[in-house]
Structure 1
Amino acid sequence: MTTPLLEVNNLAKHFPTKGVLGRTTGAVKAVDGVSFTLERGTTLGLVGESGCGKSTTGKVLMRLLEPTSGSFRLDGEEISGLRGRQLDGFRRRVQMVFQNPASSLNPRQSIGAAIAAPLVEQRIRVPGGIKAKVADLMNRVGLRPEHANRFPHEFSGGQRQRIGIARALALDPDVVICDEPVSALDVSVQAQVVNLLKDIQADTGVSYIFIAHDLAVVKHMADEVAVMYLGKIMEQAPARELFADPRHPYTRALLSAVPSVDLEANLTGRIRLRGDLPSPSDPPSGCVFRTRCPAYLLLDEPGRQRCAREVPTGQMACHFPEAQLAMAQSG
């Protein structure tokens, strides 16, 4: 059995909350027990509502944030405890494309210098020189190399995101974490950037963790999808299976909100979750989704007690999948 490229086990990131006297009063459980694997040359989509913890997961995996607990391995090597030069070596293999291309680029730095920055920082000698490498990267992402001396404000949003992608590819990484890479772009430009990422993956074999809230984009991009809610994964499955037959009630609710060309389906097929999203500083006990679950109140008392007491585990985090399925078929 081959070792996954990236293996994440029970990863958690909690942010302490402070009281009026500066004392720690609790914690925001932004990521709380997340586990998944990423295979070589594939894309894992991390999806969910704003505040579900998907972007925090990406930042922890990039080691921009320190994990509270859990572990993650790259090619079998533990990453969560790396420091100094070892961490520099890890970042040669894992890079990130950020959500807002404007804020992730230095306005006083030419785009050529921005793309070359990882090579300079890591002190990597490039055959043919850094200038030639930058020109090659710009060509790869659909930019004109003769514009390397221009500055970010001279480019459109889509072009700036291409610059960010070129910068992420400079070190020939094994994994690129894409944190909402198209959410700030127009729909037509989104398709161009997504197709560019897929073409790059086909050419280089790079693996992606693709973080997004737009399920239509994820459907086009991902091989595997993990659906997050309040810092936990509710359902994980191959993309085709998940979109064709979503099993978790939260996944079904998210998919029902995706706009359809069928106007009647938009009006009648929407699943509206009851109540408000709980605070990640005080999540429900047991199953964190139970306070909004359409089937929870239909369960008998022992069933509701189990949901309130036990945290569901597995690829589909639900104690009563049969009841959920029956409800979906009847509704």
Structure 2
Amino acid sequence: MSTPLLQVEDLAKHFAVKKGFLRPTSHVKAVDGVSFSLERGSTLGLVGESGCGKSTTGRLLMRLLSPTSGRILLDGTDVAGLKGRELQEFRRRVQMVFQNPSSSLNPRQTVGSAIAAPLHAQGVSPKEGMKSRVASLMDRVGLRPEHYNRFPHEFSGGQKQRVGIARALALDPDIVICDEPVSALDVSVQAQVINLLQDIQADTGISYVFIAHDLSVVKHFADDVAVMYLGKIMELGSRDDVFGRPVHPYTQSLLSSVPSPDPDADRSGRIRLTGDLPHPSNPPSGCVFRTRCPLRPLLSEEKQQMCMQNAPSGAVACHHPSDAAEFAARTPQERTLHAHP
């Protein structure tokens, strides 16, 4: 069996927060024990609500942040301790497309210079010449040759994101981490950018880690999906399994909240979460989702204690997946009637 291109093992990032004089320092557990793998030529979708740790995970994979613990393996080599030339080579193989195309481009730098920047940083001198290489990248992402000497403010949001994609592709990377690359764009432009990314993958065999909160985009684009909540992965599986047969109550609630284009659609089956999202500096004991879990009131006292005392693990981070499947099949009235006292 071949080694995955990228393996992430029990990855964690905790940020120290000073509370003041004579008060103890707390730690925000932005990412807490995340594990997954990425095969060559495939796309992993990383989804979850705001503040769940998706973007922090992406920055850890890119080595823009150093992990508190855990391992990131690229072709079986741990990249956490890389320095100097080895780190430079890693950055050539792993690139990133940022969420906001306007803030990720230097307003004083022409588009041609921005796309050529990674090549200059790595000391790469293309055989065909720098300008020809940049022109080829611009053509690949749908930008015209006359755009070469223009500045970012002269472009639309979709065009700026195309510049960001061209810049990420400049070094022919193995992996591109896409941090919500279409969330700031109009819906019609989103489709164009997603189709562009898919065409590039079909042509080059590149792999993507696609971070998003829009489930419809992930369903269209990803091969595998990891659902995050409060720094942990709640459910990990193929796209068909996660979207077609969700097991974890959090995944079920996320999917039930996806808007329907049909104004007459029945919305009674929507699973609504109660309570506020706990702060990452003080997550609940045991299962981090237990304070908002719609399944928990239906469980016996013994099962509820299990949720409080032990942290679940595995592809589905739930102590009671069979109960969750039964819960999802019930009507809203049945969920209320079967609530455990």
Q: Give the TM-score of the pair, scaled to structure 1.
A: 0.98
**Are positions 1:225 and 2:225 aligned together?**
yes
**Are positions 1:158 and 2:155 aligned together?**
no
The equivalent residue for 1:101 is 101
Q: What is the letter of the counterpart of residue 130 of structure 1?
A: M
> What is the percent sequence identity of the aligned residues?
69
Q: Would the aligned equivalents of 1:210 and 1:222 in 2 still touch at CA under 8 Å?
A: yes
Q: Would the aligned equivalents of 1:46 and 1:54 in 2 still touch at CA under 8 Å?
A: yes
Alpha-carbon shift at residue 19 of structure 1 (Å):
1.5
Q: What is the letter of the counterpart of residue 121 of structure 2?
A: E
The 1-side partners of 2:179 and 2:34 are apart by 17
Q: Would the aligned equivalents of 1:180 and 1:210 in 2 still touch at CA under 8 Å?
A: yes
For residues 87-143 of structure 1, the C-alpha deviation after alignment (integer angstroms, 9 at most, x for no partner) is 111000000000000000000000000000000010012111111110000000000
The 2-side partners of 1:257 and 1:266 are apart by 12
The 1-side partners of 2:156 and 2:228 are apart by 32
Q: What is the letter of the counterpart of residue 182 of structure 2?
A: V
The 1-side partners of 2:266 and 2:229 are apart by 23
Alpha-carbon shift at residue 297 of structure 1 (Å):
1.8
**Are positions 1:111 and 2:103 aligned together?**
no
Alpha-carbon shift at residue 22 of structure 1 (Å):
8.1
Partner-residue secondary structure (3-state), 1:46:
strand
Q: Give the TM-score of the pair, scaled to structure 2.
A: 0.95
For residues 257-277 of structure 1, the C-alpha deviation after alignment (integer angstroms, 9 at most, x for no partner) is 111123344631321001111
The equivalent residue for 1:61 is 61
Q: What is the letter of the counterpart of residue 65 of structure 1?
A: L
Q: Would the aligned equivalents of 1:14 and 1:28 in 2 still touch at CA under 8 Å?
A: yes
Partner-residue secondary structure (3-state), 2:25:
strand
The equivalent residue for 2:298 is 298
For residues 217-275 of structure 1, the C-alpha deviation after alignment (integer angstroms, 9 at most, x for no partner) is 00011000000000000001100121111111100111111111233446313210011
Alpha-carbon shift at residue 23 of structure 1 (Å):
6.2
The equivalent residue for 2:179 is 179
Alpha-carbon shift at residue 170 of structure 1 (Å):
0.1
Q: Would the aligned equivalents of 1:260 and 1:266 in 2 still touch at CA under 8 Å?
A: no
Q: Aligned runs of 1:242-253 on 2, under 5 Å?
A: 242-253=242-253
Q: What is the letter of the counterpart of residue 64 of structure 1?
A: L
The 2-side partners of 1:111 and 1:247 are apart by 46
Q: What is the letter of the counterpart of residue 5 of structure 2?
A: L
Q: Say if 1:308 and 1:265 are closer, same or farther in 2 by CA, change over 3 A.
A: farther
Q: What is the letter of the counterpart of residue 33 of structure 2?
A: G
Q: What is the letter of the counterpart of residue 294 of structure 2?
A: P
Q: Say if 1:219 and 1:84 are closer, same or farther in 2 by CA, change over 3 A.
A: same
Stretches (4+) displaced over 6 A: none
The equivalent residue for 2:16 is 16
For residues 144-171 of structure 1, the C-alpha deviation after alignment (integer angstroms, 9 at most, x for no partner) is 0221000000000000000000000000
Unaligned runs of 5+ in 2: 332-341
The 2-side partners of 1:211 and 1:86 are apart by 26
Q: What is the letter of the counterpart of residue 146 of structure 1?
A: E
Q: Aligned runs of 1:133-172 on 2, under 5 Å?
A: 133-172=133-172
The equivalent residue for 1:212 is 212
Partner-residue secondary structure (3-state), 1:45:
strand
The equivalent residue for 2:91 is 91
Unaligned runs of 5+ in 1: none
Range moving further from structure 2, 141-150 or 20-29: 20-29
Alpha-carbon shift at residue 81 of structure 1 (Å):
0.9
The 2-side partners of 1:299 and 1:185 are apart by 43
For residues 25-59 of structure 1, the C-alpha deviation after alignment (integer angstroms, 9 at most, x for no partner) is 21000000000000000000000000000000000
**Are positions 1:313 and 2:313 aligned together?**
yes
Range moving further from structure 2, 173-182 or 234-243: 234-243
Q: Would the aligned equivalents of 1:49 and 1:213 in 2 still touch at CA under 8 Å?
A: yes
Q: Give the number of equivalent residue pairs.
A: 331
